[in-house]
Chains A and B, each alone.
Chain A
Amino acid sequence: MAAYPSSARISSVSLKNKVLQTPCFIFPTSKGTIPHLTPDNINHNEVPVVYFGLEDSLDLLEKSPILNADGEIDKWVAGTPSQSILIAPRRSSPLPSVSAGPHHIQVLTSSGLRKLTNEVYVKAITKLRPEIAIPLNDNPSNAPGVKRKPKMIERSVTWTDELLTVLQNKQLTEKVKVFFPIPNVEAPFLNPLIERFRENDYQQNISGLACYGNLQSIPSELSIYPKLFLRPLLTPLAILQSIHQGADIVMADLVNQASDAGIVFTFSFPPPVEDLQNRKLELAWDMWHNRFATDLSSLQPGCNCNICQSYSRAYVHHLLQTRELVGWIMVQQHNIHVFHNFFCGIRDSIAAGSFLEDTERFERIYAPNFPRTTGLGPRKRGYQMDLTDVQPIENKPNWVQLKTETDDDKTSHMIQKKENAQEFQEPELPERDTTVGNFADTYAAQSENKSGSELEEDLLAELDEIDDSAYRENRMQSLKEEFERVSAAKEKGHMQYLTVESEREVMDLTTSSKRVVIHFFHPDFRRCKIMDSHLEKISKSHWETKFIRIEAANAPFLALKLGLKVLPVVLCYVDASLVSKLVGFADLGNNDDFDTPVLEFWLLKWAAIEKIKENIPQGKKSIMGFKDTKNESEDSDLD
């Protein structure tokens, strides 16, 4: 049993038209929307404050529409009129950023990386006038080095000072409350801040702390301020623990994640009376599960949320199964309601003095994690995509299951192979953690002005999933053509293992050949050399696939976008879509002396090659001549 040093407390934060009772949560928006919910589906009492990550809307930096059209931030939020809005530079739980400088940080907008300077950010805050603003701050996603840490503090202070000065000049300090950003560094680095906070302007103009790091590192002198905790909290227990550590306000990212997964919350606080059978209670249910197909009861017995009052589990299950958008609206509404009640319970429990005890009981009787979802989330868009956790966009054809006869033996043979590949793939699909994603979509989402007809095609393609015959004909035709292009493939540089210098070239190549395998390597890493030796061999006999390698240092954008942290990484592209990612040797037995066919089978599984070829040497291979059993994560880190 974990012992909680309890700094849990009840306090309040006064905003324009409301007093926030804490502990409470702030709900993260995506481009100003609470995912899936139009304003009439949001209960103002349950979501009094929303979080707006400005990077979402800064594609053109200071020329972005949000900074040039009339009006304040409420014009860019689909919320209720009395909702308060907090602006921060980055999304809640942002994708990793690469760098920062004395005057800027790097942010990820919906059309790529941009350098956001404090000048632009301050301008944005004074124009958009949110009720709460977190100044620009430097918080690298990876553990910063010793030299970076003092700079992070310095930048928080400088950038906050600059913001305060402008707010004072424009007499906006009453309207915009500033939460000082405390970077993710250890306590000793934070001590200089204590002095700063004794000064007049901070005394008067800082309304709270935005904590990007460990709550326990924050000097006790600053504990009078309300603490907004911005680290991701993935379970209800993690939230309870953070409150024990002194968090007053936390982010509600876990609600969005659960709702997208079709997971329906069932937990409550204080927890129900202990189950004597010593069985752990579930925190939530996976509504994709077939046991709900004919279940007309409400999502959670006794819940008085709008959804539970009107709709059944059977309906939500049906909507998820048919991937109807309404399903996610319902799950999201219910989950927000449960989450709101969870916080009401926390406050009551603290007030009653039983919070520690209730937390221990919560830990004892509930399962530690949410159930794994068996379904697929809603279709994600590129800019919000963390490629380690997405599904491929699925317009999975049914044609493979139809037995067809064709005159062209070669074509049918190729179809047969494709079928095999599909069979391998099938059981893997529900695995949320298989690192697959549709790269083409990432880029499509980034090209602002995709034409109408393209979008229509996307959608019609979705609608016509069941149109197996047309799809089959298309596929057969394209496979036929592929076969006729064998010789042409050689001319396109297939059957060679080339090193590419720029990421632009990589992107071009992924679209110029049907199948592309890319090895991201580091010239000094032994495992990369092992990978090279295998790929070199495979490339010689697989004419149908283009094999290339690029030094990871030459591809910073891709490395970031794909979350590459460990090398080697092998990516497979088929029809310009990323179908699979091999990180280290994880899928190859995590062993340095695997045989080439092991890699070959892996490529076949993702249809990155056509079939297993006989002519590859099978012998053991270890470049250094010894076995290595070290975990590959120790091999390297990009940073």
Chain B
Amino acid sequence: MVSSYPALNYKVIAKCSTTRARASILELPHGPVEGPVFMPVGTQASLKGVLPEQLDRMGCQIMLNNTYHLGLKPGKEVLHSLGGAHKLQSWKRNLLTDSGGFQMVSLLKLATITEEGVTFLSPRDGTPMLLTPEHSMELQNTIGSDIMMQLDDVVHTLTEDTRMEEAMYRSIRWLDRCIEAHKNTDTQNLFCIIQGGLNKKLREICCKEMMKRDTPGIAVGGLSGGEEKTTFCEVVHTCTGILPENKPRYLMGVGYAEDLVVCVALGMDMFDCVYPTRTARFGNALTRNGILNLRNQRFKTDMSSLEEGCLCPCCVPKEKGGWGITRAFLNSLVSKETVGAHLVTIHNTHFQLQLMRDMRSSIIKDCFPQFVKTFFSMWHNGDRSSYPEWAVNALRLVNIDLLED
């Protein structure tokens, strides 16, 4: 269960004996990444409110930047003269960039997709612009990300089958063009993206076609768009059943805690999502016992930390070298002071990274199923009746029964 490419060595170091979960290591140009891994999203070359060095201190080994945004500001010329996005943000660890296509479709409703690429009106001056697989590669080559994503034809998961099929085949053709256009195979990895919506047949075809192209890693895309969770998990399960064991598997846009635990069990390695950091700015703190809405009146005089035993600097008491930040203090800060947002962002990012580290060590010790059960029990405060059905069903696919002792 090893694979080797000029810019990526991948190794599965432990497999769960019950589920499909794997602990792995990705050797990338900017250091190792331990899987399963959550990648915080620094849309415009920064995680909002957190310095790159703070993120590094939290043990983050790979961060995501958005190609679309970097293409707008600072722009390709500036990135080129700076020598890429690592240089720009003084980030010593790895970077992953998306293709820019997703943002175009989600942010620009006027975008239209043709065989050539994505046509859209420039947000600068309204002139029609075209993003082709070649453009996307060129921009990502300039950014210099350690992992680049192919341009894919993104359609909503609930789109009818013929358009979905068209999108799936087009994504395969675009992958070929991306491979052709990719200039820095020695220092940058291109990942393909499996499309096909909720149609398992299409997903199967797509997996097989993409595997033929032998990219260093494989992403599953086109999910997390509000589809029914049971179907979503079935699609993930279908894909991980087909995809090769010896390559990293990246599930795009997924980052809720429950989703992470279930999808790791289903055999995915990499995740990204803006949710933990965005929700932090709204004053929502993630804890193992669920989500705290810090704006709530009941926290006004609550002098406890966000989560007892949490090792993030916010939660560690001052006597033990932390910052001793209380819920009451945050209640007085959220939506008033930027520092309030920064503090919760640090806590939530730590929560995500720690959740992944805990899953990893339980896989290595081969006690992952127990971890999953404990996680759900804590998340729902011991109330089994509130376990979501989709999670129970999905975990049954990999031999865990949450409702059994």
Q: Is the CB of B108 within 8 A of A450?
A: no
Does B357 sit within 8 A of A, measured CB to CB?
no
Question: For residues 284 through 343 of chain A, which have their beta carbon under 8 Å from a beta carbon of chain B?
Answer: 293-294, 296, 310-312, 314-315, 318-319, 321-322, 324-330
B107 touches which one: A40, A70, A449, A466 (CB < 8 A)?
A466
Contact A314/B74 with A76-B329, A324-B44 known, Cβ cut-off 8 Å: yes
**Is there contact, CB below 8 Å, between B78 and A57?**
no
Check B340–A459 contact: CB distance below 8 A: no
Are B50 and A326 within 8 A (Cβ)?
yes
**A468/B90 in contact, CB under 8 A:** no
Known A31-B333, A455-B282: A330·B49 in contact at CB below 8 Å: no
Known: A38-B323, A78-B343. A467 touches B126 (CB 8 A): no
- B402 nearest CB across to chain A (Å): 29
Q: Within 8 Å of chain A (Cβ to Cβ): is B303?
A: yes
B125 at the binding interface (Cβ < 8 Å) = yes
Q: Is A48 an interface position by the 8 A CB rule?
A: no
Q: Are A402 and B126 closer than 8 Å at their CB atoms? A: yes
Instruction: Assess the A65–B332 pair: CB atoms within 8 A.
Output: yes
- Say yes or no: A30-B90 contact (C-beta < 8 A), given A71-B303, A310-B53: no
Q: With the chains together, A284 CA to B110 CA distance in Å?
A: 43
Q: A39-B323, A296-B87, A445-B336 are in contact. Are A65 and B331 (CB under 8 A)?
A: yes
Q: Which residue of B lies closest to A327 (CB)?
A: B46
Contact, CB under 8 Å: A467 / B295: no
A124 to chain B, nearest CB (A): 15
Asked whether A352 is an interface residue with its Cβ less than 8 Å from the other chain, the reply is no
B interface footprint on A423-458 (CB within 8 Å = 1, 0 otherwise): 000000000000000000000010001101001100
Could you say which of B44, B46, B81 has the most chain A C-beta atoms within 10 Å of its C-beta?
B46
- Does B109 reach chain A (CB closer than 8 Å)? yes
List B residues 301-332 near A (Cβ within 8 Å): 301-303, 313, 318, 323-326, 328-329, 331-332
In the complex, what residues of B have CB within 8 A of residue A464's CB?
107
Interface size on B, residues (CB 8 A): 65
Among A30, A74, A378, chain B packs the most CB atoms within 10 A around the CB of A30
Interface size in chain A (residues, C-beta < 8 A): 64
Say yes or no for B163: interface residue by CB 8 A criterion. Answer: no
**CB pair A41 B51 closer than 8 Å:** yes
Candidate in A41, A324, A330, A450 with the most chain B CB atoms within 10 angstroms: A324
Closest partner residue, chain A, to B334 (CB atom): A455
> In the complex, what residue of chain A is closest to B88 when comparing beta carbons?
A315
Chain B residues contacting A75 (CB-CB under 8 Å) are 303, 324, 326, 328-329
Q: Out of B81, B110, B331, B343, name the residue touching A294 (CB < 8 Å).
A: B81
Q: Are A81 and B318 in contact (CB under 8 A)?
A: yes
- Cβ contacts under 8 Å, B49 to chain A: 325-326, 329
- Find out whether the CB atom of B323 lies under 8 angstroms from the CB atom of A293: no
Interface contact B48-A324, CB-CB below 8 Å: yes
On chain A, the residues within 8 Å of B50 by CB distance are 326
Decide if A314 touches B338 in the complex (CB within 8 Å). Answer: no
In chain A, residues 109-147, which have Cβ atoms closer than 8 Å to a Cβ of chain B? 110
**Residue interface mask A450-492, B partner, CB < 8 A = 1:** 1010011001000010111110000000000000000000000
B336→A31 contact, CB < 8 A? yes
Nearest opposing residue in chain A for B282, CB measure: A455
Query: Are B107 and A467 in touch, CB under 8 angstroms?
Result: yes
CA distance A510 to B111 in the complex (A): 38
Contact B333 A468 (CB under 8 A): no
Whole-angstrom distance between the alpha carbons of A40 and B44 in the complex? 23
* Alpha-carbon distance between A41 and B87 when the two chains are bound, in angstroms: 21
> Nearest chain A CB to B13's CB is how many angstroms away?
32
B17 within 8 A of A: no
Determine the residue in chain B with the shortest Cβ distance to A399. Answer: B126
Task: Give the docked Cα–Cα distance between A378 and B339 (Å).
Answer: 12
Give the Cβ gap from B300 to chain A, nearest Cβ, in Å: 4
- Residues of A contacting B278 in the complex (Cβ-Cβ under 8 angstroms): 459
Q: How far is the CA of A403 from the CA of B323 in the complex (A)?
A: 53
Which residues of B in the span 72-120 have a Cβ within 8 Å of any Cβ on A?
Answer: 72-74, 78, 81-82, 87-90, 107-110
Tell me, in angstroms, the Cα distance from A38 to B48 when the chains sit together.
13
**Most central of B126, B338, B340 by chain A CB within 10 Å:** B338
- B126–A324 CB distance below 8 A: no
A534: B residues at CB distance < 8 A: none
Asked whether B48 lies within 8 Å of A325 as measured between CB atoms, the reply is yes
Q: Which of A30, A68, A330, A450 contacts B335 (CB 8 A)?
A: A450
A14 interface residue per 8 A CB criterion: no
Does A459 contact B282, Cβ atoms closer than 8 Å? yes
Residues of A within 8 A of B343 (CB): 38, 78
In the bound complex, do residue B90 and residue A312 qualify as a contact, i.e. CB atoms below 8 Å apart? yes
| Chain B residues whose CB sits within 8 angstroms of the CB of A40 once the complex forms | 54, 57, 313, 323
B342 and A318 form a contact (CB under 8 A): no
Residues of A with C-beta under 8 A to B73: 318, 321-322
Bound CA span A327–B48, Å: 10
Q: Which residues of A contact B167 (CB under 8 A)?
A: none
B126 touches A319 (CB 8 A): no
B281 part of interface (Cβ distance < 8 Å): yes
A456 to chain B, nearest CB (A): 6
> Chain B contacts of A33 at CB under 8 A?
333, 337, 339-340
Which residues of the partner chain A approach B303 to less than 8 Å between Cβ atoms?
A: 69-71, 75
Take A398-B124, A467-B108 as given contacts and tell me if A31 and B337 are in contact as well, using a CB distance cutoff of 8 Å.
yes
Q: Flag if B108 contacts A469 (CB, 8 Å).
A: yes
A65 to B297, CA, bound (A): 10
Residues of A contacting B332 with CB < 8 Å? 31-32, 57, 65-66, 76
8 Å CB contact of B82 from A34, A81, A314, A329: A314
**Complex partner residue of A35 from B44, B69, B124, B337, CB under 8 angstroms:** B337
Query: Provided the pairs A31-B333, A315-B90 are in contact, do residues A470 and B109 lie with their beta carbons within 8 angstroms?
Result: yes
Residues of A within 8 A of B107 (CB): 464, 466-467
Complex Cα–Cα for A110 and B49 (A): 23
The yes or no answer to B123 lying at the interface (CB within 8 A) is: yes
A372 contacts B by Cβ under 8 Å: no
A contact residues around B313 at 8 Å (CB): 38-40
A469 to B111, CA, bound (A): 10
Taken together as a complex, chains A and B put the C-alpha atoms of A608 and B283 apart, in Å, by 36
* Interface mask (A375-396 → B, CB under 8 Å = 1, otherwise 0): 0001001010000000000000
Indicate whether A90 reaches chain B with its CB closer than 8 angstroms.
no
Q: Within the complex, which residue of B54, B121, B331 is in contact with A402, where a contact is CB–CB below 8 Å? A: B121
B293 part of interface (Cβ distance < 8 Å): yes
> Which B residues are CB-close (under 8 A) to A149?
none
Indicate the member of B51, B126, B302, B340 with the most A CB atoms within 10 Å. Answer: B51
CB distance from B299 to the nearest CB of A (A): 9
The complex places the Cα of A66 from the Cα of B283 at a distance, in Å, of 19
Q: Which of B47, B72, B73 has the most CB of A within 10 A?
A: B73
Q: Which of A38, A449, A468 has the most CB of B within 10 A?
A: A38
Assuming A38-B323, A39-B323, A311-B90, is B109 touching A469 (CB within 8 A)? yes
- Inter-chain contact A30/B337, CB cutoff 8 Å: yes
Which 3 residue pairs across A and B have the least CB separation, nearest first? A33-B339, A69-B301, A466-B123
Between A and B, 26 residue pairs with Cβ closer than 8 Å are A31-B332, A38-B54, A39-B313, A65-B331, A66-B332, A74-B318, A294-B78, A314-B78, A314-B82, A315-B88, A318-B45, A318-B88, A322-B44, A322-B45, A324-B45, A325-B49, A326-B46, A381-B337, A398-B123, A445-B336, A450-B295, A452-B295, A456-B282, A468-B108, A468-B121, A469-B121
Q: Which residues of A contact B (CB under 8 A)?
A: 30-41, 57, 65-66, 68-71, 74-76, 78, 81, 110, 293-294, 296, 310-312, 314-315, 318-319, 321-322, 324-330, 378, 381, 383, 398, 401-403, 445, 449-450, 452, 455-456, 459, 464, 466-470
Q: A78-B333, A318-B45 known; 18 other A-B pairs, CB under 8 Å? A: A36-B338, A36-B342, A40-B57, A65-B301, A69-B328, A71-B326, A76-B329, A293-B74, A311-B90, A315-B88, A324-B45, A325-B341, A329-B51, A383-B336, A450-B335, A466-B107, A468-B126, A469-B121
